[in-house]
Structure 1
Amino acid sequence: MAVIAVFNQKGGVGKTTTTLNLAAALAHLEKRPIVIDLDPQAHLTLSCGVRAENRDETVAAFYRDETPLASLVREVADGMRLIPGHLELSKIDALYGKSTSIASRLREGLQESLAWEDSPILIDCCPMLGVLSLNAIFAADRVLIPVSADYLSMQGVERLDAALNVLERGLKRKIERKVVVTRFDSRRKFSRHVYEQLRERYGDVLCETRIAENVSLAESPEHGKSVFGFAPHSQGAKDYFALTAELLEKGFIQ
């Protein structure tokens, strides 16, 4: 069981898009991934074509009622498996914010319920470093950080990198991470500048694959599909398949 948290504190960087399409690409490679929607907005759930109105069928039930995670897994399009998110997750910080035991809750739940899984598990985190995202990071073997090709995102990844370094000391283990540039436009000088600045700062931590700005990536969630199900020959599909191949080759996804 390899667990990857897809996280950035900044919104609008393609976090959910990356989680969805990495999982779909892995499914096409017969990896049968599980994706966990840990964002109260539940955008990943909607992007999989699921409207999870009953919280008892979502990851919220794991936190509120200790429902085993394995019982919440459902089959969705493209050969993926999903544990849906729910708006009820927005209450988790208030309920458990002062509890020290909550940090390892998801990790323990995965070990108890899904330890037998040999497929990768991808977690779509909410865009803030609260209880839910800490749960994901504590549970994860690795963290993938999407960064859009703009100045504010570039600044944000430095703060996130520093925060992960602090968490490493608390966890007493290395948090392996990768940074991937999204919403890249090769025609724009500044997009190229952002990529080169990140390359200089992070070296091999930065993925060589860049995810280009592509209309199919924006439109596919409306249809409840990954880009592979919606526009399999689009540039977005090519980019995410290339990213998946790179992460597999580097051993970041196993």
Structure 2
Amino acid sequence: MKQGVQGSPGSPAAARVPKRQRPAPAVAGRERDAVEPCAARGEHTHAELPIPRPRAAVQRSSVRGQILDALRTALAGGDLKPGEVYSAPVLGERFGVSATPVREAMQQLALEGAVEVVLNRGFRVVERGARELAELAEVRALIEVPVMLRLARTVPAERWAELRPLAEETVRAAATGCPAAYAESDRAFHRALLALSGNEQLVRIAEDLHRRSQWPPVRHGRAGLVADAAEHTALLDALAAGDVDVVRGLMGEHFAGAS
């Protein structure tokens, strides 16, 4: 089954971050790392594709976390292009922050398999072909389908009813046609389903696989997102009814569409 650097004005996938002036250095005598020379890090920026500047700078509180969320949005929305190399200083300039939190966020994305380090240049967005996406979908199915079948037999209908708002949120997000918004609501729905298993390790592993499968977006256009979201509501109905056969069929279709 199925957030950022700013895209063009009005782009639904763009990160929205409040604007402000860059603060003075927190430590006396330290250079502002927002203007740290790229050469000092060995990162070349002259041949990169332009990244649209966000409407405003990021708040300094939890900067790394905000940058990480923004980059994830850009990946899911396709604003960061597969195969392209982006340097931390250039991305930091776009966000109005230093290169350091951007570099830290990118390193986390490297651990998640979304980007790879390019020595003396920055980070390349991973290119995933059809085979790798199919493999991710297969592994997700191996993990999630048995769990859903077991939960269909054991979880009472009222518990599934509590997840109805999350399924409806995926439908609303799909209707916007925004891949980044849909990706977030899609993960939230799947995470809530699997959380009923009580297995936190399973939930973490499944979400990591799910996030990897969303970069780059597989389904393009509003129609594909709407079709995917419709499978969520149908799956929830089947789970509430305890219909194991329908659950199995819907899960199979859902993962087939994700590859």
TM-score by length of 2: 0.26
Structure number with higher helix proportion: 2
Structure number with higher strand proportion: 1
Highest RCO, 1 vs 2 (Cα 8 Å, sep ≥ 6): 1
TM-score by length of 1: 0.26
